[in-house]
Amino acid sequence: MISVDQVRDALQGVMDPELHRSIVDLGMVRDIRVKGRQVRFTLALTTKTCPLKGQLVDAAKAAIQALDGDLDVQVNVAEMTPAERERLFGPAKEDEPLAARFNEVRRVVAVMSGKGGVGKSSVAGLLAVALKRQGQRVGVLDADITGPSIPRMFGVHHLPLHGPVGLIPPVSRTGIAIMSINLLLPDEDEAVIWRGPLIGGAIRQFWNEVVWGQLDMLVIDLPPGTSDASLTVMQSIPLNGVVLVTSPQDLAGMVVRKAAHMAGHLHVPILGLIENMAYLDCPGCGQRIHLFGPSNAEDTAARLGVPLLGSLPLDPELALWCDEGRIEDYRGADFAPIAEAILELMPTIQTVPIMP
């Protein structure tokens, strides 16, 4: 015979996938009754239309049947009262999205470039992968609204779930949370033809109305240049710093300096500069080829007064993995020390948003 306490202890291990807390601690488990091999209890959801209802019921049944596979488990689904929801979520603050009350994002870093074509998104993806391999809880916010590429790199294509608290971002194979406008389009090839205010609104929603949960690091992939999207991120999201990405061409260096000046004007700390596509190692002779001319990264970093975090090669293997949605399988050894340097240089104090 099992006891009510054993059932409650088993359910303690069932986590709400949206709120990332035990269903027992959230007050969702009620009226546990045990009679012989029959177990009955009520699962009170924040709303009966919760899209995670089936997942929660199945997880609760599995947890109890792990005690004894012959148990007959029945779950009655109910709905919390408005007063119970307020006790759980707290009194609503004016204009504060519900999801924002449950997000605990320790650090936020934006990856920025002056011009397109320097591999900024692949650098953002590699940073997220490197941090995940270190055991960090990581998410990626794709703020490149009109040119999103993060979902394709990570092989994430399914729609986010609409939970009662907010959008639940899908996760990659290794557990990296991903949010991008491409995940909300009926076809990933569909163009997003929006003006600046709409783009800025979407980025703020991705920050405030997505249930990121507890993250050690959120990586934001910014669009190239100093557009409305970059301005929105720097003014409305608390950042720990910005990482700049450039390539060897002097033109790329000139434009990335513009991006650096933008960050400086907005008082966002620049953690350092990464030079991408710096060289190609010839697979035949092993000779290092500088396809885009000699490096200007050290000079650019010196002029900006920031550290050069590293120089990355032009690697056809990385392009292949990204095209196949398998960036997490890429084993290039060049990025691990860059990720460690970013963590060491990152201040603990975040910028203060100046826009709602």
Tens of pLDDT, residues 250-263: 776 778 888 888 88
pLDDT of residue 159: 87
Token pair of 39 as six digits: 């177990």
Burial 56-83 (b: 16+ CB within 10 A, else e): bbebbbebbeeeeeebebebeeeebeee
Secondary structure of 182-202 in HEC code, one letter for each residue? HHHCCCCCCCCCCCHHHHHHH
Closest CA to 264 of 226, 312, 302: 226
C-beta separation of 172 from 215 below 8 A? no
∠127-248-340 over CA atoms, to 5°?
25
Ordered by start, the domain boundaries in the chain are 4-90, 99-345
> Rounded to an integer, what distance in angstroms lies between the CA atom of residue 163 and that of residue 356?
23
**Is pLDDT larger for residue 287 or for residue 340?**
340
Please provide the DSSP assignment of 269-312 as one string: PEEEEEE-S--EE-TTT--EE-TT-S--HHHHHHHHT--EEEE-
Fold of 99-345: Rossmann fold (3.40.50)
For 214, the enclosing helix (H) or strand (E) is strand 214-215
What does CATH list as the number for 4-90?
3.30.300.130
Position 7 confidence tier, pLDDT thresholds 50, 70, 90: very high
Distances in whole angstroms, Cα of residue 17 to Cα of each of 10, 120, 171, 211, 226: 17, 31, 12, 10, 36
pLDDT of residue 334: 77
Position 321 confidence tier, pLDDT thresholds 50, 70, 90: very high
pLDDT of residue 90: 67
Measured torsion, CA atoms of residues 252, 254, 257, 262, in degrees rounded to the nearest 10: -90
∠141-351-207 over CA atoms, to 5°?
25
Q: What order do you get walking across the sheet with 72-79 strand by strand?
A: 29-35, 38-45, 72-79
> What does the mean pLDDT of the chain come to?
87
> Using CB atoms within 10 A of its CB, is residue 53 exposed (0-12), middle (13-18) or buried (19+)?
middle
Q: What is the separation, in whole angstroms, between the first and last Cα of the chain?
A: 56
Position 95 confidence tier, pLDDT thresholds 50, 70, 90: low
Longest pairwise C-alpha distance within the chain: 78
Tens of pLDDT, residues 43-61: 998 876 676 788 889 999 9
Who's near 8: CB < 8 A, 6+ residues apart?
Answer: 24, 29, 32
pLDDT of residue 282: 81
pLDDT of residue 96: 64
DSSP conformational letter for 37: T
pLDDT of residue 20: 77
Which residue type does 117 have? Answer: G
Mean pLDDT of 86-115: 78
Position 91 confidence tier, pLDDT thresholds 50, 70, 90: low
Distances in whole angstroms, Cα of residue 6 to Cα of each of 30, 61, 67, 101, 181: 14, 13, 8, 32, 44
Strands 29-35 and 38-45: antiparallel
Position 240 confidence tier, pLDDT thresholds 50, 70, 90: very high
Category of 41 on φ-ψ map: left (φ > 0), alpha (ψ -120 to 50) or beta: beta
